[in-house]
Structure 1
Amino acid sequence: MESGGVTLSCRHGGVGDGLVVLLHGLAGSAGELAPTAQALVADHRVIAFDQRGHGDSTRRPSDVSREAYVADVLAVLDALGGADVAHVTLVGQSMGAHTALLTAAWHPDRVKRLVLLEGGVGGGADRDYPQRLGTWFASWPVPFPDAETAVTFLGGTAIAAAWARDLEKRPDGLWPRFDADIMAKAIGAVAARARWLEWARITARTTLVRGSRGTVPDNEVDRMLAMRPDVDHVVIPDAGHDAHLDEPAAWLATLTELLR
């Protein structure tokens, strides 16, 4: 489907009341959320899409602003949401959680429920982070000859395995389905400023889900909970920033219970 001059690759299916939209994190794709979708489709309609700059969606969009990512969510809802567009749950991880947060803040009439996995308000003191992250992505010795080599280079973690599964097979080897400079620009928009005003105005029922070894700072989470005492807070043991990959069974049990 099309949104703001870009093509978005979408997956959707399922039955039941309400609609769940899954939003992956930076450098990911809808593929890494396939197990989450599969766990939900028996009871919910589910949409997962490759966000702009990722996966099979437009690889080099001219606009990677936060507004553009939110507009894509709305375009997907309008195109695929059907009768359920008034009963939407947004589930996002990391940068996808930030997109979900802003969508709920700017369009409260479109979002009923919000589940943020390892997601915060953005901003932060480390202004060099986006450039350093982009430099790291650019340092990958691509093409990788095989998935095992990719996993080893990327650190042997759960996210490394997910990235390896998502690589594009070309005649000369395996390539990432994103460009490093686009990733740096996209996360730079998240890091540009903290969205405390947006966080405060959200009316959708909200749950923060964190890994016990996650990367969202404790003081940020404490402030988020103090500003909105109605927000639920769940910690997944033995999980890091990619809790849905580190502890998939615990993540799925948590999410299905939240949506019950």
Structure 2
Amino acid sequence: MTTARSTSSGTSSGTLTTPDGTTLAYQDHRPTTEPTATFLLLHGLAGTQGEWHDLATRLSTDDGHRVVTYDARGHGASTRIPPSTTREAHVQDAVSLIENLGLAPVTLLGQSLGGHTAMLLAASHPHLVKSLILVEAGPAGPTPDLPTQIAAWLDNWPTPFPTLREAEAFLGHEAWTKTLEEREDGWHPAFDPTTIIDTVAELATTAYWPEWSRITCPTLLVHGEHGTMRPDEPATMLTHRPDTKVVRIPHAAHDVHLDQPDRLHEAIRAFLLDLKFD
């Protein structure tokens, strides 16, 4: 079931209930003219769709594309403790949005864990995907200590934060304060830590090179100069799929979309322009 309401000119917000009962919160940004392309944006672990506000505005208002963003299960305004956190459940959520909102053929743009979900979707449902843009995301693995790393990262948050300003100073970007909710004693994470840790369980034990090799749509890989991808991962991805376009963004860490939004937008524009003339 899908419900939607208008929030501003050209933008509506809504919810979609998936077959397993998970509710997904989404926003649909529509240009004032007939869209030239349709995007689905997928955020990373412990984030929210609010991270995409700047890029969604650029793609929709400036470039004339339809752009849908959403909170992944276990994140933001979506179901906080969903019945499943598997990679397949995340892929099926994105498929449900594409099919129910009529987005196909869609350009998938995902960062980190959201990029990984987009990659798996492009491999398993090629008929739904026009092109794929991965930001700091790839098939490398396994990473046995990843759940422990995520748990330690979350434990390191000095919560509750007394103010949002102090939260932003610690987390690094204003967008990350949208993962917080206010309680009587301050600002706390608006997610269940166990759910977040469980979400990366399969990445600890599995590599996804077969899935990467099956993808047939045009693909752009964007990674930050100071990002967290394995040093040899972009080159190995090219070995498996030599037609992949790879862009390295200077002065960007893992959150390329927050660190260097102008350069990311330029890379996306150039990629789409190349596709137009291919």
> Do the two structures share a fold, i.e. TM-score over 0.5?
yes
Contact 2:25 2:78 in 1 (8 A): yes
1:65-86 deviation per Cα after TM superposition (whole angstroms, max 9, x unaligned) = 00000000011111212xx41x
1:204-231 deviation per Cα after TM superposition (whole angstroms, max 9, x unaligned) = 1101111111111122221110111111
- What amino acid is aligned across from residue 74 of structure 2 in structure 1? G
Contact 2:147 2:198 in 1 (8 A): yes
Alpha-carbon distance, 1:255 to partner: 1.7
Q: 1:62: which partner in 2?
A: 83
- What amino acid is aligned across from residue 18 of structure 1 in structure 2? A
Identify the range of structure 1 (6-15 vs 168-177) with the bigger mean alpha-carbon deviation.
Answer: 168-177
Matched, 1:142 2:142: no
Identify the range of structure 1 (126-135 vs 236-245) with the bigger mean alpha-carbon deviation.
Answer: 126-135
Task: Output the aligned Cα RMSD.
Answer: 1.5
Matched, 1:32 2:48: no
- Say which SS state the counterpart of residue 130 (structure 1) adopts: helix
Give me the TM-score of the superposition, normalised by structure 1: 0.92
What is the alpha-carbon distance in structure 1 between the residues aligned to residue 98 and residue 265 of structure 2? 23
Alpha-carbon distance, 1:139 to partner: 4.0
Alpha-carbon distance, 1:122 to partner: 4.0
Q: Unaligned stretches of 5+ in structure 1?
A: none
Alignment of 1:110-129 (within 5 A): 110-124=128-142, 126-129=143-146
Q: 1:236: which partner in 2?
A: 249
Contact 1:142 1:175 in 2 (8 A): yes
Matched, 1:71 2:86: no
Q: Unaligned stretches of 5+ in structure 2?
A: 1-15, 274-278
Contact 1:30 1:50 in 2 (8 A): yes
What is the alpha-carbon distance in structure 1 between the residues aligned to residue 202 and residue 76 of structure 2? 19
What is the alpha-carbon distance in structure 1 between the residues aligned to residue 82 and residue 93 of structure 2? 12
Alpha-carbon distance, 1:140 to partner: 2.5
Alpha-carbon distance, 1:120 to partner: 1.0
Alignment of 1:82-231 (within 5 A): 84-85=103-104, 87-124=105-142, 126-154=143-171, 157-158=172-173, 161-231=174-244
Q: 1:14: which partner in 2?
A: 30
Identify the range of structure 1 (248-257 vs 94-103) with the bigger mean alpha-carbon deviation.
Answer: 248-257
Alpha-carbon distance, 1:247 to partner: 1.0
Contact 1:98 1:122 in 2 (8 A): no
1:16-70 deviation per Cα after TM superposition (whole angstroms, max 9, x unaligned) = 1331000000010100111110011131111000000100000111200000000
What is the alpha-carbon distance in structure 1 between the residues aligned to residue 73 and residue 189 of structure 2? 14
What is the alpha-carbon distance in structure 2 between the residues aligned to residue 54 and residue 166 of structure 1? 8
Alpha-carbon distance, 1:14 to partner: 1.4
Alpha-carbon distance, 1:151 to partner: 2.8
- What amino acid is aligned across from residue 2 of structure 1 in structure 2? T
- What amino acid is aligned across from residue 52 of structure 1 in structure 2? R
Question: In percent, how many aligned pairs have the same letter?
Answer: 42
Structure with greater strand percent: 2
- What amino acid is aligned across from residue 28 of structure 2 in structure 1? H
- Say which SS state the counterpart of residue 219 (structure 2) adopts: strand
Q: 2:72: which partner in 1?
A: 51
- What amino acid is aligned across from residue 233 of structure 1 in structure 2? V
Contact 2:146 2:203 in 1 (8 A): no
Contact 2:140 2:233 in 1 (8 A): no
What is the alpha-carbon distance in structure 2 between the residues aligned to residue 39 and residue 259 of structure 1? 14
Identify the range of structure 1 (164-173 vs 111-120) with the bigger mean alpha-carbon deviation.
Answer: 164-173
Contact 1:122 1:191 in 2 (8 A): no
What is the alpha-carbon distance in structure 2 between the residues aligned to residue 247 and residue 18 of structure 1? 23
- What amino acid is aligned across from residue 94 of structure 2 in structure 1? V
Give me the TM-score of the superposition, normalised by structure 2: 0.86
Identify the range of structure 1 (202-211 vs 181-190) with the bigger mean alpha-carbon deviation.
Answer: 181-190
Using CA pairs below 8 Å that are at least 6 residues apart, which structure has the higher relative contact order? 1
